[in-house]
Structure 1
Amino acid sequence: MSVPTPPAERPIAHVYDAAYTGVPNWDIGRPQRAFVQLLDAGLVRSPVLDVGCGTGELSLFLARHGHEVLGIDLSPMAIRQAKDKANWRRIAAHFLVWDALDISKLRAADLSFQTVVDSAMLHILGDRERDRFIDGLGDVLASGGLYCVLGDARRTEHEIYGITPEEIRDRFREVDGWKVVFFQQTIFERRWSSNTAYFVGVQRQ
């Protein structure tokens, strides 16, 4: 896999670097159960892009099951830990310091993906950041490819944090070349807690 030059780093990368000097609450040491079920259902196809991969547990899980996986995260600390895990476990996953808001630039390296997995990345983005990410997603997800996102359920209509069924349908419209193929309520597990969440699959037409 050729490695493109990463875009400029966003200042928030340092916030996540600080979190990864310890073990953040969202890093449970294994993939979220929704993605295990996705694999068991045979819905993961290679190559796979894991956006906001953190220390790589989901990427490593999918690679261990035979998939070609690229994990990206804007935190250099998280990517170093992911690469160390891959070396220790002898798993052939690839990791790159890269901002998910700039995934459209991966096309410069002729990279496209059949599956994009998102374990709690979309739900932290601001409104305009979500628009930018989805625009880029359309550039790198192949026709017929599947974007699968797990995110906390939004608690009130006035918050931006979290996701709702209505928002997903508004952002991924069929007229724009998207189709929501599954939508289920589930939980997002953390080390010391869990939240009601939604797990959504959106296909690129």
Structure 2
Amino acid sequence: MSEQPGAFAEDPFDGRTPTGHERMTGLPWDASYRDGPAPWDIGGPQPAVVRIASDGGFAGAVLDAGCGTGANAMHLAASGLSVLGVDVAETALEMAREQAERRGITVEFTIADAFALQRLGRTFDTVLDSGLFHTFDTDERAPYVDSLAAVTEPGATLYVLCFSDEGPETGPHPVRRDELETAFALVRGWKVVTIERDRIHTRFHDNGAPAWLAAITRVSR
């Protein structure tokens, strides 16, 4: 029987609070991976991530928050970085582990709630958020940012690639530039270094959808 919006199993969220996107669609994130590729699963890393990596932007221990099937995490791990990819979708993580094993790439994948990253018991030098931030409602952003703070020390770098509200054919959940600046404000222990126009590639955008690429530094506890 196919799942219908609102037709959950007893607890499809494993005890966590569903995100705004999940409440809107009536389905847990895991459902996106059960019947073919998810819209954001392009079969390889995001070009923006490849570019940052080639410029030496990732260093030390790396966290890929909302890693999905792991294309970005595997690209970074293949260059010799220590990478942990986390997601709430166990189906996606199983696919990521299988592909990493098939390709002979050493990378770790584990289930984790983006609002409770402190449960990982680890800190990271670089964090990647490729397509996760824009799925959160306004009132979910502060808890998410605080969760990121719990796994980073001052000096850590965060990259956020999210849908932008500027330009034609914007993706779902577009984010304004000032919303990024507000979420990662100095008063929350972050400094936005740069926000640049970029593209997020999806299965439904030939040349990607308008995006923001933000480089953000953790400045205080």
Confirm or deny a common fold (TM above 0.5): yes
Partner residue, 2:197 = 185
Partner residue, 1:117 = 128
- Are the structure 2 counterparts of residues 176 and 97 from structure 1 closer, same or farther at C-alpha, using a change threshold of 3 Å? closer
Please state whether the residue corresponding to 1:55 is helix, strand or coil.
coil
Partner residue, 1:103 = 117
The structure that has the greater radius of gyration is: 2
Give the deviation of 1:104 after TM superposition. 2.3
Contact 2:200 2:210 in 1 (8 A): yes
Are 1:41 and 2:55 an aligned pair? yes
Contact 1:121 1:151 in 2 (8 A): yes
> 1:25-64 to 2 correspondence within 5 Å?
25-64=39-78
Partner residue, 1:4 = none
Are 1:164 and 2:171 an aligned pair? no
Partner residue, 1:16 = 29
Please state whether the residue corresponding to 2:150 is helix, strand or coil.
helix
Contact 1:9 1:74 in 2 (8 A): no
Deviations 1:108-129 (A, max 9, x none): x3x0000110110000111121
Contact 2:61 2:126 in 1 (8 A): yes
Deviations 1:127-163 (A, max 9, x none): 121111101111111210011010101369xxx9222
Contact 1:50 1:71 in 2 (8 A): yes
CA RMSD of aligned residues (A): 2.0
Are 1:75 and 2:89 an aligned pair? yes
Give the deviation of 1:185 after TM superposition. 0.3
Q: Which of 168, 172, 175 is the aligned partner of 2:187? A: 175
Please state whether the residue corresponding to 2:153 is helix, strand or coil.
strand
Determine which structure has the larger helix proportion and give its number.
1
Please state whether the residue corresponding to 1:42 is helix, strand or coil.
coil
Normalising to structure 1: TM-score of the pair?
A: 0.88
* Structure 1: tracts of 5 or more residues without a match: 1-6
Give the deviation of 1:17 after TM superposition. 2.1
Deviations 1:41-84 (A, max 9, x none): 11101200001100000000000011100000000100100110
More displaced stretch, 17-26 vs 50-59: 17-26
Contact 2:197 2:211 in 1 (8 A): yes
Alpha-carbon distance in 2 for matches of 1:93, 1:8: 27
Alpha-carbon distance in 2 for matches of 1:118, 1:175: 21
Off by >4 Å, runs of 4+ in structure 1? 9-14
* Structure 2: tracts of 5 or more residues without a match: 1-13
Alignment identity in percent? 33
Alpha-carbon distance in 2 for matches of 1:146, 1:32: 18
Count how many residue pairs are aligned between Structure 1 and Structure 2.
193
Partner residue, 1:3 = none
Q: 2:28 corresponds to which letter in structure 1?
A: V
Alpha-carbon distance in 1 for matches of 2:187, 2:37: 42
